[in-house]
Structure 1
Amino acid sequence: MSHSFPKLGSVESIIESLAAEGYICNEQIATVVYLAAALEKPILVEGPPGVGKTELAKSCAELTGAPLVRLQCYEGLDESKAIYEWKYGKQLLYTQLLKTQLAEVMEGATGLRESIERLHSFDDVFFSKEFLEPRPLFRAIDADDGVVLLVDEIDKADFEFESLLLEVLSDFQVSIPELGTVKGRSKPLVFLTSNDTRDLSDALKRRCLHLHIDFPTTELEGKIVRARVPQITEAMTDHLTSFVSKVRELDLKKLPSVSETIDWAKSLVLLHADSLDEELVRSSLNALLKYEDDLSTVVDNLTELLSQDVKASQAS
């Protein structure tokens, strides 16, 4: 059982290939992805929301040509939604359709014990793979070829779910009481993302390579914006990323994410803007900020933020 991701041949090739997919990353990110593929270990990607954790997994799937299997975590997530459940409706339907055959099986049985013994010899028929509904974790390890498995926002799930996940991450297998241990046919490239809303267990972290993605530097965010919004001018990109960097230094309820920077850049292109001024920022800031209190805070500091932006642009 193995996976093969030939396009992850080196750190440099990963940086170049991800850039071709529109994902601009630094050497640290590319190195962890390379090591994860080579060592066949999951990656635990932590960091604030909106910095590209989920997008990294999606881009690696595009890069390798492997299918993306995604499990979105939430409180109360259990094995019936994450690993498997039985198709009870199909089992019941088959039971009804096979009534005649069941009568033939039971014919001549004397007493309850013999009847149960005869039924028991056939119960495995209804607890076979044909009646199994595979969920994302099972689909990922049961695939003929390697897939990219994304376990998104693992910090939203319970500690109990982490325990279920450990078997999949360490041995690439799942235990099903009625079938026994089902070993994977291929090893997925696994990404687990966390927004740091709670501490994850040491057992989970031990099984993973760790990667922390923070808000990018102004220079890196400029490269990201130009890759995703090629119509934007270089001067506007510099102004925009410098302004966003200063906004993130404010005491806001939600700091603007990279994806929101990209949305704002697209908005400014649609508005045919070639520079930032107070009127333009006020009218378009909803694309960057999502809370009214945050909007008010930025507007109250707008003159200073724009003057800092101009100084930063002149310095560069």
Structure 2
Amino acid sequence: MADTADTAPAGEVDSPAGLASLLDRHAYLCDEGLATACFLALRMGRPLFLEGEAGVGKTELAKTLATALGAPLIRLQCYEGLDASQALYDWDFPRQLLHLRAAEAAGIGDVARLEGELYDRRFLLARPLLRALETSPSVLLVDELDRADDEFEAFLLEVLSDFTITVPELGTIRAERPPVVVVTSNRTREVHDALKRRCLYHWLEHPSFDREVAIIRRRLPAAAARLAGQVAGVAQRLRTRDLLKPPGVAETLDWTEALVALGVRELDPGTAAVTLGAVLKYREDQQRVLAGGLDALLNGG
């Protein structure tokens, strides 16, 4: 649980700089553009749509924002085939059946009463979207929307338009206070304009060298300054190469953490070779980098 001195309700964040400072206290360093987009999403009550390469910090922003605002994070992980019942709500059929059998054993024969009891709120399983509507305040993370189908995207747009849902057996459920919504996409496909129009949009770039070094030192203070600079420099150069999956900030941190765990204070070709799997997750990428020579990569080539 975060210290209350390091949290602030969304309504008390008074500027992009104030929000950036709040996130910084929780080890998330953002630039002015991202801080401004995030602040406007809070102030205007609009979902924030984040696109960018995998590993640039989209999901981490939502997690840190929830911590900084002192609100629970409710995450909806998208995937192909995701439908409304998996995202919104479902009925707890096993419990309903047990209740029905218990009523029969007790000799309760009032059918209308039984039907009403079977669709009571206690038998409703709230999935992420419904939980976000019923939890105030909360941060709703709709992660990797580009992996979901077009049909689900259209359904999500409807929910985000008025933050209400209708359960036929119970009626309409409206958010007392709409959640802070962060939608992310790795752009494996284009998300439709209708949903983007509902949101404030921001593209997350890979950080500059100086910012990446700062992120490493902030997240992993045990890393030597020399090592942090070397790892950030290599990561920056790897992103300019023709790789299947260039490293994101997540991989940079993974690699640094692995090196720190090994007691490394300065990166050399031998150590880089045996730990390359922490930063490059495809065999073809590792082979390509090794074939080009790690000496040149470490020395700026």
TM-score normalised by L of structure 2 = 0.91
| Of 66, 70, 93, the match for 1:65 | 70
- Say which SS state the counterpart of residue 150 (structure 1) adopts: strand
Distance 1:121 1:274 in 2: 71
Aligned to 1:111: none
Which stretches in structure 1 are left out of the alignment for 5+ residues?
Answer: 106-118, 310-316
**Fraction of identical pairs, as percent:** 41
Report the Cα offset of residue 12 of structure 1. Answer: 1.0
Q: Deviations over 1:284-304 (max 9, x none)?
A: 212111111111111122233
**Farther off after superposition, 86-95 or 251-260:** 86-95
Q: Structure 2: how far apart are the matches of 1:247 and 1:135? A: 40
> Which of 84, 98, 123 does residue 79 from structure 1 map onto?
84
Aligned partners of 1:271 and 1:88: how far apart in 2? 51
- Distance in 2, matches of 1:245 and 1:80, equals 42
Deviations 1:180-226 (A, max 9, x none): 32111221001111110111112111111111112111111111111
Which protein shows a greater Rg?
1
Q: Are residues 123 and 250 of structure 1, via their aligned partners in 2, closer, same or farther at CA, if it must alter by over 3 Å?
A: same
Q: Distance in 2 between matches of 1:163 and 1:101?
A: 46
Q: For residues 101 and 182 of structure 1, do their structure 2 counterparts lie closer, same or farther at Cα, with a shift above 3 Å needed? A: farther
Say if 2:124 is the partner of 1:132.
Answer: yes
Give per-residue Cα distances to partners, 1:224-257, cap 9 Å, x unaligned. 1111111222222222211111111111111112
Q: Could you say which residue in structure 2 is the equivalent of 1:273?
A: 264
Matched, 1:159 2:141: no
How far the C-alpha of 1:31 sits from its partner, in A, is 0.7
Give the superposition deviation at 1:87: 1.5
| 2:74/2:140 contact within 8 Å kept | yes
Query: Which amino acid in the other structure matches residue 220 of structure 1?
Result: R
Please list every run of 5 or more consecutive structure 2 residues that lacks an aligned counterpart in the other structure.
1-8
Contact between 2:100 and 2:114, CA under 8 Å: does it hold in 1?
no
Paired with 2:113 and 2:227, the residues of 1 have a C-alpha distance of 73
Aligned residues: 291
Q: RMSD of the TM alignment (CA)?
A: 1.7
What is the match of residue 246 of structure 2?
255
- Please give the alpha-carbon distance, in whole angstroms, between the structure 2 residues aligned to 1:233 and 1:96: 65
Distance 1:231 1:156 in 2: 36
Does residue 179 (structure 1) correspond to residue 170 (structure 2)? The answer is: yes
Counterpart of 2:289 in structure 1: which amino acid? V
Measured against aligned partners, the alpha-carbon deviations of 1:234-282 in whole angstroms (never above 9, x if no partner) come to 2222222111111111111111121111111122223333333222221
Structure 1 252/206 Cα, relative in aligned 2: closer, same or farther at 3 Å?
A: same
Aligned counterpart for 1:19 among listed residues 24, 28, 31: 24
3-state SS in 2 of match to 1:193? strand
Matched, 1:198 2:189: yes
**One-letter amino acid of the structure 2 residue matched with residue 26 of structure 1:** D
Pairing 1:1-316 to 2, within 5 Å after superposition: 5-99=10-104, 102-103=108-109, 105=110, 119=111, 123-143=115-135, 145-301=136-292, 302-308=294-300
What are the Cα deviations for residues 71-111 of structure 1, in whole angstroms up to 9, with x where unaligned?
A: 111111112211001122222222222235543x4xxxxxx
Query: 1:227 is matched by which residue type in structure 2?
Result: R
Structure 2 vs 1, CA of residues 121 and 299 (structure 1 numbering), >3 Å: closer, same or farther?
same
Return the offset for 1:21. Answer: 0.5
Distance 1:131 1:243, change over 3 A: same
CA distance in 2, matches of 1:77, 1:290: 27
Instruction: Normalising by structure 1, report the TM-score.
Output: 0.87
| Post-superposition offset of 1:45 | 0.8
2:141 is paired with a residue of what secondary structure? strand
Q: CA deviation at 1:7?
A: 4.7
